[in-house]
Amino acid sequence: MSSLATAIETSQKLIGTEVGVSNWITVDQKMIDEFAKTTHDEQWIHVDPERAAKETPFGGAIAHGFLTLSLASRFAYDCFSMMEGQVMGINYGMNKLRFLMPVVAGSRLRGRFTLVDAKARDATSMLRTNTLTIEIEGNETPALVAEWLGLAVFKD
């Protein structure tokens, strides 16, 4: 049996199960400010903590939704390793994404992955679909929930 076939068979047995929980990452004001500069999105709710504390219900500055989403790659590194015969993993996009709760500066986040589907895409790759939930420490409502597609590429 090929490495790809073995990986698909193994992955399909895990469908519906939680396959990883990452370490916590603190999203501090410095990270938010750097992201704002990089993306040219310097809206005051992100970069002016004093004003955000006074004029929003959040109690301070909040992270960009896309900053929170961008941490998904870091969370995946904590949870997934290369499968036998795999030569690379490629971000293949999202099917669904919802931002459910703002992330206040200083919050700690982690990613939780549940495998939804795993199937061959072609002769050398497997498409895996995971539900990613990015949790905020101490909050029942997560920051976001997304259906994330990842392509695992194998050598022939």
DSSP annotation of 141 reads S
d(CA 149, CA 130): 7
Q: Please determine, for residue 156, whether its predicted confidence score (pLDDT) is greater than 80.
A: no
What is the per-residue pLDDT for 113? 98
8 Å CB contact between 46 and 28? no
What is the per-residue pLDDT for 130? 98
> Per-residue confidence at 52, pLDDT binned at 50, 70, 90?
very high
Q: How many CB atoms lie within 10 A of CB 84?
A: 10
Q: Please determine, for residue 25, whether its predicted confidence score (pLDDT) is greater than 90.
A: yes
CB-neighbour burial class of residue 38 (10 A; exposed 0-12, middle 13-18, buried 19+): exposed
Q: What is the pTM of this model?
A: 0.94
d(CA 79, CA 40): 31
Pairing of strands 125-136, 144-154: antiparallel
Task: Name the fold adopted by 3-27+71-154.
Answer: Thiol Ester Dehydrase; Chain A (3.10.129)
